[in-house]
Amino acid sequence: MELVIDRFGRVVLPRVLRKDFNLHAGSRLMVKESGREIILCPEEDREPCVQKNSTLVFTGTATGDVAGQVARSRQEQLEKNGAM
């Protein structure tokens, strides 16, 4: 299979490859080099949350002001429960 690089350095993976490897907009590929080869490897799909005992644990990548959001959430809970 031959692909062409456009003037912006992009290549389009054919639909059949995207379907076979379950790739869609936003999918991430790892790039590896081996001699004169460029190897694209899809990152494994991971669920951002996993169940550990009775707790749901976030294992994804956090974005934004996580500490601030936790503080606001705790404050809201305190106010809701009448502790403030």
Q: Which residues touch 31 (CB under 8 Å, ≥6 apart)?
A: 38, 39, 40, 41
Q: Architecture of domain 1-45 in CATH?
A: Ribbon (2.10)
Return the pLDDT at 45. Answer: 64
Per-residue pLDDT tens for 30-79?
Answer: 999 999 999 999 887 666 777 888 888 887 777 788 889 999 999 999 99
Residues 32 and 26: beta-carbon distance below 8 Å: no
Sign, Cα dihedral of 45, 51, 52, 58: positive
Q: Is 18 helix (H, G, I), strand (E, B) or coil?
A: helix
Return the pLDDT at 23. Answer: 86
The band of 12, judged by pLDDT with boundaries at 50, 70 and 90, is: very high
Domain boundaries, the chain: 1-45, 49-80
pTM: 0.48
